[in-house]
Amino acid sequence: MKIVLASGSPRRRELLSLITENFTVCPADADETLREGAPLADEVVRLSRLKAEAAQCEHPDAVCIGSDTMVTIDHLPLGKPKDERDAANMLRRLRGRTHEVLTGLAVLSPDGGAQTLCTRTEVTFRDFSEEELAEYLATGEPLDKAGAYGIQDHGALLIEGICGDYYSVMGLPVAPLGVMLRKLNAAR
């Protein structure tokens, strides 16, 4: 069965390849504006589904996978930073604290079936120094990541611990996705 990943993220591509090598990448064009007042967990699932639906329009005969990841602290979403200053402010807000990473997943099958879920992972940052912050910002990594960090890259140096699914923080809940694809006979 044909599988389409509705994302241009190299991390999601890498993670999906842990389940199957047989997939196509089709970055989704979906409006990612959050609905005011909607629960953030519902929003990551909704956005995941929108992405999968966008891919399914181009690939109606495929199993389409959409995912969305959001960093939240104090019940507020931290998206991708606008610039380095915004990234620094986000990282200072996370420093020495525990925050939540929500990752939505939607798997749509050609017969109209849909499986969705939201994972929640707590990530605790160390109380890192301003010098460490400047070093991390200099890598350029924070600028294209929700919450201004990547757990799998240099951002790992800022993290004290996690409670939950590491792969969800990277952007794709691998084990649940593997189960969903097996149910559709689309993966090993």
Report pLDDT digits (tens) over 31-47.
888 999 999 999 999 99
> Known catalytic residue: 68?
yes
| Sequence letter at residue 72 | T
Contact present, 91 and 79 (Cβ < 8 Å): no
Q: Which of 61, 68, 127, 153 is catalytic?
A: 68
β-strand pairing of 76-78 with 98-108: unpaired
Q: Rounded to 5 degrees, what are φ and ψ at 184?
A: -95, 5
Question: What is the tens place of the pLDDT at every residue in 46-82?
Answer: 999 999 999 999 999 999 999 999 999 998 999 899 9
Q: Which pTM value belongs to this model?
A: 0.94
pLDDT level of residue 182 (50, 70, 90 thresholds): very high
Give CB contacts under 8 A, 24+ apart, made by 52-55.
52/6, 52/28, 52/106, 52/107, 52/108, 53/108, 54/6, 54/28, 54/29, 54/30, 55/4, 55/5, 55/6, 55/26, 55/28
Question: What is the tens place of the pLDDT at every residue in 132-177?
Answer: 999 999 999 999 899 999 999 999 999 999 999 999 999 999 999 9
β-strand pairing of 63-73 with 76-78: antiparallel
Strands of 74-108 (E only): list them: 76-78, 98-108
Contact present, 117 and 68 (Cβ < 8 Å): no
Residue 126 has pLDDT above 90, yes or no: yes
Residue 9 DSSP SS3: coil
